[in-house]
Amino acid sequence: MPVQLARRLRGRRLDSVERRGKYLLLDFAGARLLLHLGMSGRLSVLSRVAPPGPHDHVDFRFDDGRCLRFHDPRRFGCVLLLDGGGGHPLLDGLGPEPLSDAFTAVYLYARTRNRCAAIKSVLMDARVVAGVGNIYASESLHRAGVRPARAAGRLAPADCRRLVAAVRTVLSEAIAQGGTTLTDSAFAGTDGSFGDFQQQLAVYDREGKPCPRCGTAVRRVVIGQRSSYYCPRCQR
């Protein structure tokens, strides 16, 4: 952690918190931070400062006694102070947000032309659309009836319409349910509460279990070094 971080932030007010893809942007009255949680990082809002644990790396302490704590067991996350409060190379080239007006079927169809890569890999490429992770990509593809290993270039306009609609629906439902928590050490909200969307998962991490739509056993395949789950009957 840069020594100048504490010096630059001391006495500043946290004005806003934004998200771009999987990055958080915290604006401290002009001093801007870029924060990424990595694979297992967590931000917690504490009502009062408690002694840090083994994997608690950064505390943002506020005048009212509260503390925003960054916990990162695997150390894959990052906290970066942006020069001049501006942008960063990590943000350059990111695609549209999946819930924004820019993510349309027309856009997705254009970005998949002449692509031999699996549609699931393309959907998780932040340069195409920013912020669709492994779980939600699998669930969206199932709802859209598209097999994850299918070549992106083979998608028809109708496939793209269903897939964009599915991504929007899955993400909106997951947000409403507080996210997806598969283990106690995984995702949690800033207040420590766990998500509930895992109860609605149709295919992710359900290898051998019946598809809720047709009853066929869910299969698992590795795509881009990530486990992908699908129904061989519902998804083409």
Q: Which domains does the chain carry?
A: 4-85 (3.20.190.10), 105-230 (1.10.8.50)
pLDDT for residue 173 is more than 80: yes
Contact in structure between 21 and 130 (CB atoms under 8 Å)? yes
pLDDT per residue as tens digits for the range 39-78: 888 899 998 888 888 899 999 999 999 999 999 998 889 9
Cα distance between residue 234 and residue 213, in whole Å: 8
Q: Are 138 and 147 in contact (CB under 8 A)?
A: no
Distance CA(53)–CA(67), nearest Å, equals 14
Kindly calculate the radius of gyration of the chain based on its CA atoms and give it in whole angstroms.
Answer: 20
Residue 51 is encoded by which pair of tokens?
């002694």
Q: Give the Cα separation of 153 and 76 in Å (integer).
A: 33
For residue 154, the one-letter residue type is R
Distance in angstroms (rounded) separating the CA atoms of residues 19 and 197: 21
**Dist. CA 72–CA 54, nearest whole Å:** 9
* Residue indicated by tokens 């996210």: 179
List phi, psi (to 5°) of 222.
-95, 125
- Rounded to whole angstroms, the Cα distance separating 168 from 176 reads 12
Of 126-130, 172-176, 208-212, the range with the lowest mean pLDDT is 172-176
105 pLDDT more than 70: yes
> Which pLDDT value is given to residue 185?
47
**pTM of the complete model:** 0.85
